[in-house]
Amino acid sequence: MTASLSRRRFFHLAGLAALAFPLRGLAALDTSGGDEIVILNDIHLTGIPEEKIPGNAKDDDDHLRAAVQQILTLPKKPAAVIINGDLALSIGTAADYAVVRELIAPLRDAGIPVHLTLGNHDVRPVFNQAFPEMKSASDLKDPRHNGLIDLPSTRLILLDTLDQTPGPAGKLGAEQIAWVLAKIDEVPTKQVILVGHHNPQVGGDTIHYKGGLADTADFWPEIAKRDQVQAYIHGHTHEWTQASENRIHIISTIACAYVFNKNTNATGWTSARFNAHGFQLKLHTLETDHAWNGEAKWFFGRQPAPKKPAPKKK
């Protein structure tokens, strides 16, 4: 076998858009939708069968395939599925994105909207050619692939944090920052959740600073002024962690493809449930007997900053 895409594999992928896929568990879905979504990130797929993802994964697509089947058996149909960056294994190619299209097809065939964001292993022009139907919610001079998901209680703003491929750091850029702030200001009575692949360089976790958003300082003070911004949810670190800055939750959700340390993390996906008071994240690990499987945590809205005690009178 050569490292290039085989002829058989190429024609198989090229015809995927026209195929229908069996949807096991679809009949059990409640199609009413609502304030529940699903978040995956770091799926790291490749169109070259000979390449494997790190971490001793069984195959380049088994993890996402398993996650999709689990999502299709949820008792309630999610309002959306977000795959939050690093769609490709190394440097995104047309063959890589053909595999992504193949594996998310059952979700789309089930009527579940799928939103894709970009990470530091993706290539924006190649992605745009592979998914011409997935239009950006923004129209910027510096093209970015943004998304908006409006739920009854919540607006999710999907960021494009891709700067260089495959460099680890990300960047929003001044034009995207201005767009994000405008979209926050449109919904003063809803909670707002920002979703981007890269971690912000705040929250006290210095181990992640090198690979985070290089222009965090250009946007964080502005979102901190807007009380409706409740959280920033990211991938990139392949970990399940929580922190905060300016009373805004900073949450890394678990990776789908692989982890850097199996002793401290697990692969899988996350379901999110929102209401007017906050949101709940629930872990679904691909190892169904993992201790984290089913773990749920509530994150409540920003509380008023504690008042400093008045100086004592002498």
Segments making up each domain of the chain, as ranges: 34-300
Rounded to a whole number of angstroms, the distance between the first and last alpha carbons of the chain is 84
pLDDT of residue 147: 98
CB atoms within 10 A of CB 9: 16
Peptide bond between residue 311 and the one before it cis (omega within 30 degrees of 0) = no
Question: What are phi and psi for residue 299, nearest 5 degrees?
Answer: -125, 115
* pLDDT tens-digit series, residues 256-289: 998 888 888 999 999 999 998 999 999 999 999 9
CB atoms within 10 A of CB 73: 11
**What architecture is the 34-300 domain classified under in CATH?**
4-Layer Sandwich (3.60)
Report the alpha-carbon distance of residue 183 to residue 192 in Å, rounded: 9
Q: Are 158 and 117 in contact (CB under 8 A)?
A: yes
pLDDT band at 302, cuts 50/70/90? Answer: confident
Q: What percent of the chain has pLDDT over 70?
A: 80
* pLDDT tens-digit series, residues 93-129: 999 999 999 999 999 999 999 999 999 999 999 999 9
- Exposed e or buried b per residue across 96-111, where buried means at least 16 C-beta atoms within 10 angstroms of its C-beta: bbbbbbbbbbbbeebe
Q: Are 64 and 88 in contact (CB under 8 A)?
A: no
Q: What DSSP assignment string belongs to 119-185? A: -TT--HHHHHHH-TTS--S---SS----EEEE-SSEEEEE-----SSS-S-B---HHHHHHHHHHHH
Report the alpha-carbon distance of residue 88 to residue 49 in Å, rounded: 13
Report the alpha-carbon distance of residue 296 to residue 100 in Å, rounded: 28
pLDDT of residue 295: 95
pLDDT at residue 21 tops 60: no
* pLDDT tens-digit series, residues 218-260: 999 999 999 999 999 999 999 999 999 999 999 999 999 988 8
Report the alpha-carbon distance of residue 81 to residue 104 in Å, rounded: 10
